[in-house]
A and B are shown apart, each in its own frame.
Chain A
Amino acid sequence: MYKAFISVLRKELLLALRQKTDVVTVLFFFLIVSSLFPFAVGPELNTLKIIGPGVIWVGALLCSLLALHRVFETDFNDGSLEHLVLSGEPLTVLVIAKISAHWLITGLPVVIVAPFIGLQFGLSAASLSLLLGTLLLGTPVLSLVGSIGAALTLGVRGGTALTSILILPFYVPVLIFGAGAVVADLQGLSIDGHLSILTAMLCLSVALAPLAIASAIKIALE
């Protein structure tokens, strides 16, 4: 089981290394989307400070959505998804390996870049580090929950737009507590609740999402 997990993870990372443009595209998308907001609401720093955490969180969320289709789609098209199912290893474990790789490739870079974008919105050092923390807790949840949608729409017409319709309602709680923590901190409120709920959501999605994804994959292959 451990060997299979590692071999899936290695394969994904090697593939990403061969196709770096994918990662870079997501990052540029993040940068450009969040830079659009000052143009829309004006350069007033006090306004930007208030909307900053929300904008960055929405940006991260859109990036996650944009990258989602790559989690299983190519594997579905080239037949390697069948190998995962027929390996005899627990599919949930392999699914976690794939999503971990996906998060390392598309989620983590976004988290790392986010504080720099936060600077554009005049966020303080304390807010920036909190933003980094909530993104670290929250973006894996986005990847896990989003992958359910990606697996359900495998081989279905509609692609990314359909996945977004399915998944965005489930993103709402993550967004509320992720961006909410930074805002609450700015208002001088306690953020312990936010952080523990984000952690709870992470645990819950690690435990449950792979089950849903594994069944969705089996259904897609029939």
Chain B
Amino acid sequence: MFSPGYAWNELRRRWARTLVTAIGLAAGVGLVMGIIGVSEGLSDAQNRVLSPLGSVGTDIIVTRTIAPTTDKTSTTTTTTPVREVVGPGGGGGGFFAGNVPGASLGSSSQAATLLNNNASVITDLAKLGPAGTKFTHDFFVPGTLITFPSVAVSDVAKLPDVTSAVGALSLQALHESGTVPKITNKVKEGGQTIKTTVTPPVLTPTQTANERACIQKLVQGNLSKDSGTSGSSGTSGSSGPSGPSGSGGGGPPPGGKHRFQIFVGGLSSNPAFEKCLTPAQISYNQNVVVPEQTITQILKPPTTNTATSSYTVAGVNPTSGTTGLITKSQLVSGTWFTSNPADEVLVNTAYASTKKLKVNGTITINAKNYKIVGLVAPTLTGDVSDVYFPLSTIQSLASAPKFVNEVLVDVKSASDVAAVTTEIKKELPGATVLTSKSLADEVTGSLTNAHKLANDLGGALAIVVLLAAFLIAGLLTLSSVAKRVREIGSLRAIGWTRGAVVRQVIAETVGIGLVGGLIGIGIGVGVCAIIGAVGPGLSITATGLTVGASSVSSLLGQSTTATATTIVHLSAPVHLTTILLAFAGALVGGLLAGIAGGWRAARLAPASALRDLG
């Protein structure tokens, strides 16, 4: 027992001492609250980042990512743009293994698949229309997450302990607009002079006679205007102005040799005369060929004004509002997909605010309007998209019907996660199976470092700070007791027992602890508020689990591991338990100080009251 009135008056009337001791304790517990707050803030931040699966009602995410490879040449081995197709009975999920048993070969096959998957982005602009056509087009590519047939979803769903499995297609969208480039190339032709020198075969006299008779017959049977040519002894088979080679012109050759004479608009142009020619002469006519010529010209590359911007899209199951990349609980405004969702989209609030999109507004993609039915705030997962489509819509936009690149699995209980993970890996060899734990293991960055630091050092720092505060309070109490020697001696003299004196001292210091606790809570709340207001942003980097954040460069083989970095603002939340802990800490500090002071007081002899202390 102690005298509360006495204790109260001690605290009240020696307020300066009370306050100094109380502030010592308060500073201690306030700082400890700050440390706890930062530590909890970091834990909260990390939990926010590290529990993407739990936050979407999903325990496991199955993807097929490209295995990191150093073999650069492997990325160019396949150029045939054929999507891998798996037969219905083809030994469940063989497509995950990349059809090649060896691991290194498997990764090169995966790289090829990745390129194929993303081939549509390096598309032929000519397909968008004739040159000069203005175009706006959105290309959808899977980034680093290779697509696979959606049969995998049902394969996973059949596994024991799996509650549900939902497929999703996360894609990177490249929005391109510009003009289809015109590629022109001028080639000059014509103007060449072709010289041909021929020596016709010598006709036998009989052939000559026959030919002449035939021609004369034709001439006579036709027009009289041709009479001037009747004496001609031959015809020219070649067109053009080239004259006859050889000597003599005009009259018939003296010997048996006949030479062709060339007439403008010559007889050869008249098919009727060809009947009179000998086969050798006809054949000669047909074999005259213009010699080959190579034209070389340097072309300027085509100029285009194509502007590219990228955003991320995902296809989700519109009928599954509880499991998936987004859930109904993440809906901020508007509604979920309706029963006829083909032309509907949900938009990430962050993207909506950047692009000034609103509920009931529209997004135009490849000349088709999609209605924004709602805005969603997806939790900070490794896989946040800007626009969410019904799965079938995005599959047709990406020309990937029946293909997904993520399976979101919900298991019956948390303890089944490990077992189901093993099952999935067995069922779908080559699949990347992410769990909350595996995500946590892959997360790095200043947040993790800070959290580690807070865990490692924060606890020690808190203890040191608290001990320092206790020490200060204890020393102040000892000094106070030393100053009250006569008072305490008098109490002992007039009949106060040692116990009563000790209890009285403890009552006082616990009272100081109470005051210190209250001030300390104020300090702690203030410290936490300041940390929250000016707290630095902490980065967190997650490796190998991203889709949306992957860049074109990474999917072109320059980098095979995508990373996502998120900045988390450091806050220091004050929880009730922290407040209670701080308060208890201050009281304990008061108690310890009281025990120290009481111990000192108990050692004072009652006779000290009689001593002349000056």
A and B physically associate: no
Q: Which residues of B contact A (CB under 8 A)?
A: none
